[in-house]
Structure 1
Amino acid sequence: MTRDEAPGVHYAVGSDVGRRRSANEDSAYATPRLLAVADGMGGHAAGEVASAIAIEAMADLDGRLADADPEKRNLLHELGEGVSDAATRLNERVAAEPELEGMGTTLTAILWDGTTFGLAHIGDSRGYLLREGELSQLTKDHTMVQSLVDEGKMPAELAARHPGRSVLIRALMAGSSAEPDLTTHTAEPGDRYLLCSDGLTDVTTPDEILEVLSSSETPEDAVGRLIDIANEGGGPDNITCVIAYVDH
């Protein structure tokens, strides 16, 4: 596929407070170049601040790339710089407002160059790809429970229901350096991508996500259906979805 033949993307964003929270700590962003979701932590005010700071850094990265030549774009370098910028902003905010000490956020972002996308991930928000009828998880949760699964000390089936499954071992935290996973992937026409907070994945199954992404005609329809499913499952947390369909 040449760059002149590179597919475009259609995208949608949706966020819902859920049924048990009084405030929404999630933030999200989407343009034809960049998709991102962040799930804040540290108390509802600080969590909301942290996720917003991370997404502001991603939006500024997107703005800097708006007029850049895609041929010269280094996806992982740009994403790494964006995540580092987010970490710096968190540190600066806590230095100015010490009462925000302890705030942090997850961050999962995709950056396109037309034929390839770079993925940056830290925390337990997730990225999924639906391709030719198969759903794959592009990210790995940075949680204590997932580390036990990786070490063979806990079966994956138990991890999905473990009460400590949201205990993070890596996130964007004020006072610490950013250590995101950075990977590249080739985009193909017909791909469907989902970035989401754990307010969705804690109460839905991969089969449910597969069915919605496969059968929804538009990203907007898919976002609405997934949020409805999460709320029908109890809506214990904020629910945020960013979905992109790549042109056929």
Structure 2
Amino acid sequence: MALEFNFAARSDVGRVRSKNDDSAYVGRYLAIVADGMGGHVGGDVASASVVLDLAPLDRNNHPDPATILPDEIQSANLILNDLVHDNPKLAGMGTTCTAVLVDNDIVHMAHIGDSRAYRLKNDGFDQLSVDHTFVQRLIDEGRISPEDAESHPHKNVLMRVLGDVDASPELDVTSFAAEPGERWLLCSDGLNAVVDDYTIEMLLRADKPLDDIARDLVDETLHRGAPDNVSIVVFETAERQITAEADPKTDELTESAREVTAAHNGETVSASLLRADLASRPHLLVGA
């Protein structure tokens, strides 16, 4: 059975940060969340660069769907290295990346960092990604409990990210058999850092339009203080509708073509490309 995504997305700068370092994309076949880091200069550049590099994958019938997503993420990482080489002020920038690509009835996922992927399927609610954090490693080794991790002084230390530190970072690559009616959530850690999994599940299960669910998840984060940026991509798997479609091209994924809404306004972006105001980004990304 051939599947596609019905989707919604939302992003907000939060109540503490002055700019939004998150970037996200969701379309009929592809969903991405990237959470940038690198201080005042580079976090938003890193996340936006990766999202723009991956966005043209939003089409069906890839010749090798199981490998194209991780391969393109590695290529995007090399571009980050080139950006730093050309502009040393960006040194140390990096980004998480959690991305999924559907091909027929298989959802392929590639992941690095601590953005998350959750899935509602039948009665189950599962976190499908593993956080690449220092505290998660301690949990895996049995040295601390998940409860201890919440108050650990190094709970935000990332062990794996895209950026100029590693030319070929290790990705988690997984494939999942899918069926119509599954509901997925990709999010930056600004959500799960303040909203517990039980509440996330209840909001995700709500019998509401996906736009409302995405809004409710962001609003709950804001209600709890939102010390970080928060970006939400929600999608449902559905039988593919056979329509004439053009493959997205990188030069079409611009602010004017996609009618991108500035993420710091906290508004829903119906056209799918969520980023902070492009006017604050390097020209090479505005013109990508």
> For the Cα contact (< 8 Å) 1:145–1:164, is it kept in 2?
yes
In structure 2, C-alpha distance between the alignment counterparts of 1:181 and 1:7, rounded to whole Å: 23
In structure 2, C-alpha distance between the alignment counterparts of 1:60 and 1:89, rounded to whole Å: 15
Sort the Cα spacing of 1:222 and 1:216 in 2 relative to 1 into closer, same or farther, 3 A.
Answer: farther
In structure 2, C-alpha distance between the alignment counterparts of 1:69 and 1:29, rounded to whole Å: 19
Which segments of structure 1 move beyond 6 Å, counting only runs of 4 or more?
Answer: none
> For the Cα contact (< 8 Å) 2:4–2:102, is it kept in 1?
no
How far residue 246 of structure 1 moved from its aligned partner, in angstroms, is 1.9
The share of aligned pairs that are identical, in percent, is 43
TM-score (norm 2): 0.79
Letter in 1 for 2:70: G
- Among 113, 125, 130, the residue aligned to 1:135: 125
- Among 63, 88, 107, the residue aligned to 1:98: 88
Residue 207 in structure 1 maps to residue 198 in structure 2: yes
Count of aligned residue pairs for this structure pair: 238
> For the Cα contact (< 8 Å) 1:200–1:240, is it kept in 2?
yes
Counterpart secondary structure, 2:231:
strand
**Alignment match, 2:11:** 15
Structure 1: runs of 5 or more not aligned:
none
How far residue 247 of structure 1 moved from its aligned partner, in angstroms, is 2.9
Structure 2: runs of 5 or more not aligned:
240-288
Deviations 1:193-229 (A, max 9, x none): 0000000000001111110111142211111000000
Letter in 2 for 1:157: E
TM-score (norm 1): 0.92
In structure 1, C-alpha distance between the alignment counterparts of 2:23 and 2:141, rounded to whole Å: 32
Deviations 1:128-170 (A, max 9, x none): 0011132100000000000000000000121133342110010
Deviations 1:3-51 (A, max 9, x none): 3xx3432101110000001100000001111000000001133000000
- Among 30, 38, 41, the residue aligned to 1:42: 38
Letter in 2 for 1:97: N
In structure 2, C-alpha distance between the alignment counterparts of 1:102 and 1:9, rounded to whole Å: 35
**Alignment match, 2:281:** none
> For the Cα contact (< 8 Å) 1:133–1:214, is it kept in 2?
no
- Among 191, 215, 218, the residue aligned to 1:224: 215
Residue 157 in structure 1 maps to residue 147 in structure 2: yes
